[in-house]
Structure 1
Amino acid sequence: MFKSVYAAVGSTREAVNPLWHKAVALALVVGSAAALGLASPSAIGSDGVGDPYFPQDGNGGYDVSRYDVKVFYDPAKPDSFTGDTTVQAAAKQDLDRFNLDLEGFTVSSVTVNGVPAREVARTGAHELVITPASRVRRGSVFAVRVGYSGKPAGASWHKLQGGGVDVTGEPHSATAWFPLNDHPSDKAALHLEATVPAEWTVIGNGLPGPTSERDGLKTFRWNEDHPIVSYATTMAIDKFTVHASKLADGTPVINAYGQNTTYLPDSEALVPKIMAFLTKTFGPYPFDSTGSIVVAPEATEGSLALETQTRPTYDGAFFDASAVHELAHQWFGDSVSFSDWRDGCIAECFAQYTGQLWDEAENGADLDKSYREIVASHVGDAAYWAVPIYDPGKDRPLDYALYDRGALMLHALRRTIGDAKFFGLLQHWTAAHRYGNASWPGFERLAAHDAGQDLSGFFRAWAHSSVIPPEPYLHPGPLNG
């Protein structure tokens, strides 16, 4: 049934155009800058993508295709972390200077296409400013290698009860362990090579590669070749117990249980059934492996559960409800990711409603009845309806409204357009934007197209308003019963 996320979880130009003088002056300045080897304004990658909520997140001027992250970490020395990351990218413009995002650490070396950078600077909370020895030309593919070390910083480093560490978080986490273009709009493959003392195990995203051991150290490799959104990356180091199996179609399932966690065999046994349900509902599973990472943090604020790509992370244990939600994110949020942070509904609204769909299919839950009861209980509660589901505000990008009312909205949409069109829409959406980025307004347009009807009033009332939706949007079809 529906539950609150908190409850459950140009000779004449001079005369004609006086601005021409300024254009000439600017051209002279730019030309002089080039002669002096300085960066011209047009050849500087921006220090942020201009996200409405996090304007300094990400960077402009290039698209990343792959991260190769090599790290060394000894849990017995938690203040010492060593990283060596190579960023493969394509230049969208000429670049005399560009930025990466990295939080903390001392940067010891930076090369661009194997040549030491002319200058490296740090600014702001996470900007790594790189001036290459020579201009990176628009359209070229280039590689940036960064060596760094020091004490890990940031709230995304979670100390585990057994002495290990887990690096997860939303909206930010990846900047705390490797340099990157930290915005959901620039997704890239991630290859991790992590070396730890031999008694420890490293779990990451994607498929495991070969492990190697030497001089009491063990190196683990994890390869996620599908594009990954930055906050869905993870690295967990613990003395894991790993259960490996396969789905009916051969997809590897890797469930890793850290120290002081609870193994629930019945919940683990449900994963194949959950995956079959999700695949039937949303279309083919978008990735090459699945499973879970279960850890026991020393201290957390709320649940640590997060849809880390291919292998969601859970705090202490996982149940069918949490697994359904986080695995649904593999379609909604991981494969189809935000365009910007106003679009949280394309992840959370769907993942939350998927829990209701599972309850309906598995337990016969009456979602119409549950919907009517929740709406009735909030008719006079103005605060419940006050936060818009789309663009909820920069201080609350993942507000509870996306979960509670987002699920209600999707059920109302289902009753408005009918089951066949609704579930067809979900599969159309996940297929059309597979491995890419999308926006909530884009979903509204696709919904209207697939439904063959004008849904502008419905979405204005449900997603863009800060008051209770009027009739008939509040109680369409069977919801009037």
Structure 2
Amino acid sequence: MKVLWTEDPQDKVFYFHLKGVTVDSVYLNSNKTSAVVGGIVGTNISYYSIVAPINAKIGDTFYVKVNYSGTMTCETGGTAGWCGGVTSQNGTLYTLGVGFVADYVSTTQHWLPCYDHPSDKATFHAKFKVPRGKIAVSNGNLTNVEADNTTITTEWTHDIPCATYLLTFAVDLYFPLEFGSSQLPMTVYSKGADTASTRKSFSLLPRMVRTFENKFGEYPFEKVGYVNTPTGAMEHQTMISFPTSLSQSRDTVNSVAAHELAHQWFGDNVTPEDFRDAWLTESFATYSESVWAEELGGFTGYLNNLSGKMSSYFNANEGVFPLYDYPRAAPSSNYPVTIYSKGAVVLGMLRYEVGDSLFYKSLKQYLSAYKYGIANTATFENMFQQTTGKDLKWFFSQWVHAKGWVKLDIRTSQTTNIDGKKVTNLRFVQTQPKDQGPFTNIPIEVGVKQKDGKYLYTIFTLKKDDETFTLPVEFPTDYTAITINQGPTLRTLLQVVSLTEVIENPKEERPELRIIPNPAGSDFQLDYCSEQNGSAVIVITNVEGKQLYKEIITVHQGQQKITLHNTLSSGMYWLSIEQNGRESTKQFVIQQ
């Protein structure tokens, strides 16, 4: 290790981490010295320390050599699906740079002596000697290969600063698949049996890189690299560990590859100061999946992707907590769904709040200002406010530093305005727990479905915990459905708990279709009025428009009740009944 003092070495001590192996000897500037075990010996909170030269000062450089032996391991409590550290599976020896359960999070210390903290970046040069017939791949450029009758030694050099948790290696009989150019190599390493499927799965990789360069700025490293490993995915800098099963899928959309690629900007190029700021990596990479969906499917694809992430967050059983400095104890983890899915939707809301131009300008400015360095939540927030010229303290306060999301009880009613025109009113009441809000400046896109099947949309900004709005007079009062947060403009982190129609004159004709109760639980009924005997088709779709249920039923003329047994998870859905070309649609909520 080449160590540069960047601060005054007041205690004259250099610290490093190494776990699960035996330290045999330590040298400082070629002189043998001792490494003292510190922290709480025998626990996860342990480290080694070396006393530096007495006259050490800022700007000094010295060299530490650590000889160690043993079998490399992974985090205690890891699983077959993920174990931070070093794992051997299916003939592949590989590393994953973080653990989901280890309280020290960064797990490079399971194979490499280093100060294993994201704030302390390092350049990297390594030689890997492996049995002939296999090859070791790692970070940076392959600068040399040597072989004899029994071994192959590969030399890898990465001269750009890298957080230790982003260092890696993988060993197997790999074949390089090339997708890039001499200006920017893009290489995916695959075992022979998987090369055809891997080539198919990564066929859009150059387009993916171009998409992110357009949004985030020039790709920051010397190569784009992926390697197929039994588990993953993990955004190791320039050599992403990627699950072989996903490469075998031949899925050309490859959203996981997009997620990990985006990390090369968010997390690798600009690294969080510590793991309290991990949302600065995972939220942005998850949001980038939606950017990739927008590239492939337009803005509708982007919104649908965000809707899916919102549902994932609402259904996560991990507790409710902020994006910044979240708890890690079960049912949470080092990497909970919150910092992925909630964070992605929050970034989508930030994009809407400041507009596309300022949003991406701010991201590029942030990535440029802290290039190859570290940042924290405060520096990101300050950069965004400086670049946009907007006061966004309220936004970051409620969406990044506070927990939870908006839950709404919505009631519709109709009145006559001063011009004698009948209008529809919507009352929004925030019902989330008191320690989660109230939220303010909430954009809510409301859609009204006309009899011809077309929608009209408007956006209200909810500033209070109880507020009533009136739909524009050009919106029909004899609409067939109302949608909340499903329009063509944005997705807001909100959940409709109930949507109730207030009937001012109960003697008026009963609605053609009602869902009872709404919200519903395990079972619910349809109160349906049919004009004639015959068959009808019931269809249930989610907020993304995906069909989840379809059934053909027999109905009779007049009012009737139809019982449905629910297997849906909590969330918002649409139910429609179609009979002889006549369709009735209602929105409903499931609460399990």
Assess if the C-alpha contact under 8 Å between 2:287 and 2:347 holds in 1. yes
Paired position in structure 2 for 1:88: 3
Q: Does 1:403 align with 2:340?
A: yes
More helix by share: 1
Q: Does 1:151 align with 2:71?
A: yes
Paired position in structure 2 for 1:328: 262
Letter of the 1:307 partner, please give it.
E
Whole-Å Cα distance in 2 between the matches of residues 239 and 475 of structure 1?
53
Paired position in structure 2 for 1:293: 227
- Change in 2 beyond 3 A, CA 1:109/1:373: closer
Paired position in structure 2 for 1:135: 54
Letter of the 1:157 partner, please give it.
V
Which of 109, 123, 144 in structure 2 is aligned with 1:175? 109
Whole-Å Cα distance in 1 between the matches of residues 139 and 312 of structure 2?
40
Paired position in structure 2 for 1:305: 233
Q: Deviations over 1:236-276 (max 9, x none)?
A: 111112223533x6112221113665633222221111111
Whole-Å Cα distance in 1 between the matches of residues 25 and 404 of structure 2?
54
Residue 378 of structure 1: CA displacement? Answer: 9.5
Paired position in structure 1 for 2:37: 122
Q: Does 1:314 align with 2:314?
A: no
Whole-Å Cα distance in 1 between the matches of residues 204 and 306 of structure 2?
30
Assess if the C-alpha contact under 8 Å between 1:196 and 1:218 holds in 2. yes
Instruction: Please give the residue correspondences for 1:367-406 in structure 2 after superposition, counting only pairs within 5 Å.
Output: 370=304, 386-395=320-329, 396-406=333-343
2:380 partner SS: helix
Q: Does 1:233 align with 2:170?
A: no
Residue 369 of structure 1: CA displacement? Answer: 5.0
Whole-Å Cα distance in 2 between the matches of residues 385 and 327 of structure 1?
29
Whole-Å Cα distance in 2 between the matches of residues 369 and 475 of structure 1?
14
Paired position in structure 1 for 2:400: 463
Paired position in structure 1 for 2:19: 103
- Change in 2 beyond 3 A, CA 1:375/1:385: farther
Which of 122, 130, 137 in structure 2 is aligned with 1:196? 130
Which of 112, 122, 131 in structure 1 is aligned with 2:28? 112
Assess if the C-alpha contact under 8 Å between 2:309 and 2:344 holds in 1. no
Residue 442 of structure 1: CA displacement? Answer: 1.6
Paired position in structure 1 for 2:442: 473
Letter of the 1:151 partner, please give it.
T
Residue 304 of structure 1: CA displacement? Answer: 1.3
- Change in 2 beyond 3 A, CA 1:367/1:270: closer
Paired position in structure 2 for 1:71: none
Task: Give the total of aligned pairs.
Answer: 386
Whole-Å Cα distance in 2 between the matches of residues 347 and 465 of structure 1?
19
Q: Does 1:250 align with 2:170?
A: no
- Change in 2 beyond 3 A, CA 1:413/1:151: same
Assess if the C-alpha contact under 8 Å between 1:371 and 1:408 holds in 2. no
Whole-Å Cα distance in 1 between the matches of residues 356 and 403 of structure 2?
27
Q: Does 1:345 align with 2:276?
A: no
1:157 partner SS: strand
- TM-score with structure 2 setting the length: 0.61
Whole-Å Cα distance in 2 between the matches of residues 416 and 364 of structure 1?
20
Whole-Å Cα distance in 1 between the matches of residues 242 and 374 of structure 2?
25
- Give the fraction of aligned pairs with identical amino acids, expressed as a percent: 27
Q: Deviations over 1:106-165 (max 9, x none)?
A: 222211111111x32334344123245x4251122111111111121223212121x230
Whole-Å Cα distance in 2 between the matches of residues 371 and 237 of structure 1?
35
What are the ranges of 5 or more consecutive residues in structure 1 without an aligned counterpart? Answer: 1-85, 297-302
387-396 or 191-200, which deviates more:
387-396
Which of 152, 160, 164 in structure 1 is aligned with 2:89? 160
Paired position in structure 1 for 2:353: 416
1:366 partner SS: helix
1:181 partner SS: coil
Q: Deviations over 1:314-356 (max 9, x none)?
A: 1113452111100000000000001111111110111001110
- Report 1 or 2 for greater relative contact order, CA contacts < 8 Å, sequence distance ≥ 6: 1
Paired position in structure 2 for 1:5: none
Whole-Å Cα distance in 2 between the matches of residues 291 and 443 of structure 1?
27
Assess if the C-alpha contact under 8 Å between 1:293 and 1:313 holds in 2. yes
What are the ranges of 5 or more consecutive residues in structure 2 without an aligned counterpart? Answer: 76-84, 99-104, 407-438, 446-458, 460-488, 493-592
Whole-Å Cα distance in 1 between the matches of residues 188 and 310 of structure 2?
41
Assess if the C-alpha contact under 8 Å between 1:342 and 1:397 holds in 2. no
Whole-Å Cα distance in 2 between the matches of residues 382 and 186 of structure 1?
33
- Change in 2 beyond 3 A, CA 1:94/1:448: closer
2:124 partner SS: strand
- Change in 2 beyond 3 A, CA 1:90/1:275: same
Q: Deviations over 1:428-464 (max 9, x none)?
A: 1111111000012221112122221111111112111
2:200 partner SS: helix
Assess if the C-alpha contact under 8 Å between 2:212 and 2:262 holds in 1. yes
2:35 partner SS: strand
2:202 partner SS: helix
Whole-Å Cα distance in 1 between the matches of residues 306 and 6 of structure 2?
52
Q: Does 1:355 align with 2:292?
A: no
Residue 277 of structure 1: CA displacement? Answer: 0.9
- Change in 2 beyond 3 A, CA 1:382/1:142: closer
More strand by share: 2
1:326 partner SS: helix
Assess if the C-alpha contact under 8 Å between 1:95 and 1:135 holds in 2. no
Assess if the C-alpha contact under 8 Å between 1:193 and 1:219 holds in 2. yes
